[in-house]
Amino acid sequence: MTTEQTKIVLTGIKPSGELHLGNYLGAIEPALAEVTQHRGFYFIADYHALTTVRDPIRFEQQIYELAAAWLALGLNPDQVVFYRQSQVSEIFELFWILACVTPKGMLNRAHAYKAAMEQNQSLGQDVDFNVQAGLYNYPILMAADILAFDTDIVPVGQDQKQHLEMARDMANSINAIYGPVLKLPEAKIREQVKTVPGIDGQKMSKSYDNVIPIFASGKTLRKRIMSIVTDSKGLEESKDPDSCNLFAIYRYFADPEAVQATRQKYLDGGLGYGYLKQELFELLEFRFKDQRDYYYELLADKSKLDQILAQGAEEARAMAIPVLKRVRKAIGII
């Protein structure tokens, strides 16, 4: 087990679409901030993405895009273990072991599964219509991702809180049966961020087609920002910053004085949404400029990305193999 100085911080992102501001603020930025103090294990959750992605050509490309994104945003592979989930076979072995101690009832309560059932119900269909076992078992694979590395801290957005609780429950189940075998991880959710809204006000998510992509620029970025949904109050009317989607996104990127001044303008009247959208566009265009250039440079050399990820997978396996050995021994499979 690790000491105070060498805590393990681990997080994964699915290559299921364009990386967006929610991913950046909720997971990537906090994860990168941790590596000055702790040992980082950051990965591409490609087998998790298989629950939704069906186009193999697009899938392969999205994996490279996510690899380039992590690196462009500051992940240093000499400092962090950076890998693809699919290249660490121990995770899938642990998945099965965890599945054997996980009550089915726990999976019935998972938010994503419940949402799929509710959607079916509202359409008058069988609750399990088009629900694959992959979606149902998703929380177990995520627990295996985490527990296979004796992880201490998992920086994630608010939406992953339940998954972390389930991972702890699974570790507790193993430990209750076999003694102290698995380490209990802690979620680390940034209070100020929690859930970044998308352009329609729901949680920003690749699944909802409401994202502001980090690496978009120019016309594409501007178009997205101009589509942020607001109410229809006129320029001079007083507005509520706390229920405004545009303000919620703006406040993450503007400096604190500008945020304060803008808040006041909302309250006093005299602020046009179009004007603020233009300001947000300029802020984002500038904020990610260097990373955007680097991202496209990295994407142009896929064999280099392959090499970085293969090296990371080797390091990740070196960590997971002894954990699995310990688990196998505990359960009686030697």
Distance CA 259, CA 274 (A): 16
Distance of CA 59 to the CA centre of its chain: 17
Tell me which of ligand ADP, ligand TRP, none is bound by residue 142, counting a contact when its beta carbon lies within the kind-specific cut-off of 5 to 8 angstroms: ligand TRP
Distance CA 267, CA 123 (A): 41
Per CB under 6 A, which region of 58-66, 155-163, 219-227, 237-245 contacts ligand TRP?
A: 155-163
Task: Name which position in 154, 174, 276, 316 contacts ligand TRP (CB under 6 A).
Answer: 154
Identify the three-state secondary structure at position 65.
Answer: helix
Interacting residues with ligand TRP between 162 and 191 (CB under 6 A)? 163
Which residue shows structure tokens 């089915």? 104
Task: Name which position in 62, 85, 86, 160 contacts ligand ADP (CB under 6 A).
Answer: 160
Task: Name which position in 8, 9, 14, 67 contacts ligand ADP (CB under 6 A).
Answer: 14
Per CB under 6 A, which region of 23-31, 67-75, 105-113, 312-320 contacts ligand ADP?
A: 23-31
Percent helix, strand, coil in the chain, to 5, is 60, 10, 35
Q: Give DSSP secondary structure letters for 143-208.
A: HHHHHTTT--EEE--GGGHHHHHHHHHHHHHHHHHHSS-SPPPEEE--TTTS--B-TTSSBP-GGG
The count of residues interacting with ligand TRP (CB under 6 A) is 14
* 132: DSSP letter: -
Tell me which of ligand TRP, ligand ADP, none is bound by residue 86, counting a contact when its beta carbon lies within the kind-specific cut-off of 5 to 8 angstroms: none
Between 23 and 151, whose beta carbon lies closer to ligand ADP?
23
Task: Name which position in 195, 217, 230, 278 contacts ligand ADP (CB under 6 A).
Answer: 195
Write the single-letter amino acid at 270.
Answer: G
Beta pairing partners, 153: 9, 186
Between 206 and 277, whose beta carbon lies closer to ligand ADP?
206
11: contact with ligand TRP by CB under 6 A: yes
Per CB under 6 A, which region of 14-22, 69-77, 224-232, 270-278 contacts ligand ADP?
A: 14-22
Tell me which of ligand TRP, ligand ADP, none is bound by residue 196, counting a contact when its beta carbon lies within the kind-specific cut-off of 5 to 8 angstroms: ligand ADP
Per CB under 6 A, which region of 68-76, 107-115, 191-199, 271-279 contacts ligand ADP?
A: 191-199
HSE-up of residue 50 (Cα within 13 Å, Cβ side): 12
Structure tokens, 134: 């992959």
Task: Name which position in 48, 183, 206, 277 contacts ligand TRP (CB under 6 A).
Answer: 48
Between 23 and 262, whose beta carbon lies closer to ligand TRP?
23
Sign of the CA dihedral running 145, 154, 72, 275:
positive
The count of residues interacting with ligand ADP (CB under 6 A) is 20
Characterize 289-325 residue by residue with b for buried, 16 or more Cβ atoms within 10 angstroms of its Cβ, and e for exposed: eebbebbeebbeeeeebeebbeebbebbbebbeebbe
* Total Cβ atoms within 10 A of residue 128: 12
15: contact with ligand TRP by CB under 6 A: no
Structure tokens, 332: 């009686």
Between 52 and 278, whose beta carbon lies closer to ligand TRP?
52
Between 206 and 263, whose beta carbon lies closer to ligand ADP?
206
Between 126 and 186, whose beta carbon lies closer to ligand TRP?
186
**Residues at the interface with ligand TRP (CB under 6 A):** 10-14, 45, 48, 142, 145-146, 154, 156, 160, 163
**Residues at the interface with ligand ADP (CB under 6 A):** 13-14, 16, 22-23, 25-27, 156-157, 159-160, 193, 195-196, 203-207
